[in-house]
Structure 1
């Protein structure tokens, strides 16, 4: 089987690994990771409050709207994590 070339943006280079193979994070990757995590968490919580309604929070319509919002955000979260991984170039060693 022929190996395919990886044409994605890869910020991780050979200089970022120690002699024993451990990963050394590039400058700024930690802050980017923390901000990405906070953005994902805020989008999840924010999705609960997107809908404006005069109904109480335990009304079936409000529950269905919130469930739909959380379902959408939860469905998009793997895409968000994939985009973060592609942007930062972090790879899992096997």
Structure 2
């Protein structure tokens, strides 16, 4: 049975995928879309990265950094996946 953190992580990644899909459809300039994508992806990983970077000598700081960087990479990949899926769908029409 999945635990609550696993469910929340999966929900976060699905939301990033959906946000990438919706951001592609908005008629904004590409720079604004990238800034909006960064604003959506960055907050959750920073909750893990900032405390670990402020006190690297504390217990589990390396684990928090690893977890934060992994969430950042996965969130960016899901956002790019949403952009790509929307682009492929729009190209097929």
> Under TM normalisation by the shorter chain, which class is it?
0.3 to 0.5
Q: Which has the higher helix share?
A: 2
Whose radius of gyration is greater, 1 or 2? 1
TM-score, structure 1 as length reference: 0.42
TM-score, structure 2 as length reference: 0.42
